[in-house]
């Protein structure tokens, strides 16, 4: 029995040494990379996080492992460098790729998480980044420098943000007799600013939610028992999709579309003394 205990202790000791070496290597890599980035690019924001992680999920595709990282925000891009291998960029998000960003929970002590919707190379990706509260505030302030006014307003709207799907769907058209014809399958992915149409990971179309109106959940009278339809208008165009649990999807779509028309939340700060002026922004 004592021999087993000794072997176990030795194994734990060796594991601790290996973990310490890896952590030291990551820290040295992070310091070197940050020094180089600050000297070469003068970023708006740059910080290392070896104790937290980022993750990239390709919608309707794969999900990366969680990795410690360095995040850099410049005027022309946000870049994530993993620290568990040589520091080649894992993700480069340019302002034209960014579709939305937001924190699922309000600021709290410890680690905080932010989500970014991006469209790169015809794929929709959800990037999740975790940082301490202070570093997260700095990252958000830098993101606002490269984001659009629409994205900043969406960030300030009330939670919970709506992400739903992707769900299988079929585009549907109705004939003069009321019968529905279904087209080739695709997937619907609902985000706080867009309804995304995907086929085999590729973005087929992106529909801004603030342009979607007259949303309705419709039962199939021509085919009882078949999945119902979600129908809505985009300007002069009427679109319909056959979706399982169509009533729930229509409800979520309607709620997400309504929120794009709401005014952002105003964060009023208490004044410390007469004459002090504070911004209406929780990140300040």
Residue 267 pLDDT: 55
Residues 128-174: tens digit of each pLDDT: 999 999 999 999 999 999 999 999 999 999 888 999 999 999 999 99
Residues 169-217: tens digit of each pLDDT: 999 999 988 899 999 999 999 999 999 999 989 999 999 999 999 999 9
CATH topology of domain 164-259: PH-domain like (2.30.29)
Distances (CA, A) of 108 to 52, 69, 128, 136, 266: 15, 21, 17, 10, 19
CATH 2.30.29.30 segments of the chain: 39-155, 164-259
pTM for the full predicted model: 0.84
CATH architecture of 39-155: Roll (2.30)
Residues 57-115: tens digit of each pLDDT: 999 989 999 999 999 999 999 999 998 766 567 899 999 999 999 999 999 999 999 99
The mean pLDDT value for 36-41 works out to 86
With pLDDT > 70 as the criterion, what percentage of the chain qualifies? 84
Q: For residue 58, which of 121, 122, 126, 114 has the smallest C-alpha distance?
A: 126
Q: ω into residue 166 within 30 of 0, thus cis?
A: yes
Residue 176 pLDDT: 87
How far is residue 244's CA from residue 255's CA, in Å, rounded to a whole number?
18
Residue 37 pLDDT: 87
């Amino acid at each position: 029995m004592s021999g087993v205990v000794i072997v176990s202790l030795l194994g734990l000791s060796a594991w601790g040494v290996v973990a310490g070496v890896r952590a030291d290597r990551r820290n040295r890599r992070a310091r070197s990379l940050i020094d180089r980035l600050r000297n070469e690019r003068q970023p708006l924001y740059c910080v290392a996080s070896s104790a937290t992680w980022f993750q990239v999920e390709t919608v309707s595709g794969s999900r990366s492992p969680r990795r410690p990282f360095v995040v850099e925000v410049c005027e022309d891009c946000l870049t994530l460098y993993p620290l568990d291998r040589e520091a080649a960029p894992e993700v480069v998000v340019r302002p034209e790729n960014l579709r939305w960003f937001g924190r699922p929970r309000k600021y709290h002590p410890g680690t905080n998480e932010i989500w970014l919707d991006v469209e790169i190379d015809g794929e929709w990706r959800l990037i999740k980044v975790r940082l301490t509260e202070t570093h997260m505030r700095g990252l958000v302030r830098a993101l606002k420098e490269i984001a659009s006014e629409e994205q900043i307003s969406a960030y300030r709207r009330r939670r919970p943000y709506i992400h739903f799907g992707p769900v299988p769907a079929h585009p549907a058209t109705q004939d003069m007799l009321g019968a529905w014809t279904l087209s080739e399958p695709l997937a619907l992915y609902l985000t706080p600013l867009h309804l995304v149409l995907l086929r085999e990971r590729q973005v087929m179309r992106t529909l801004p939610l603030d342009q979607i109106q007259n949303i309705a959940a419709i039962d199939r009278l021509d085919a009882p028992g078949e999945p119902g339809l979600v129908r809505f208008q985009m300007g002069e165009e009427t679109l319909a999709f056959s979706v399982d649990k169509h009533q729930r999807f229509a409800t979520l779509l309607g709620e997400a579309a309504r929120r794009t028309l709401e005014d952002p939340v105003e964060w009023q700060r208490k004044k410390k003394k007469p004459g002090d002026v504070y911004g209406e922004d929780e990140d300040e």
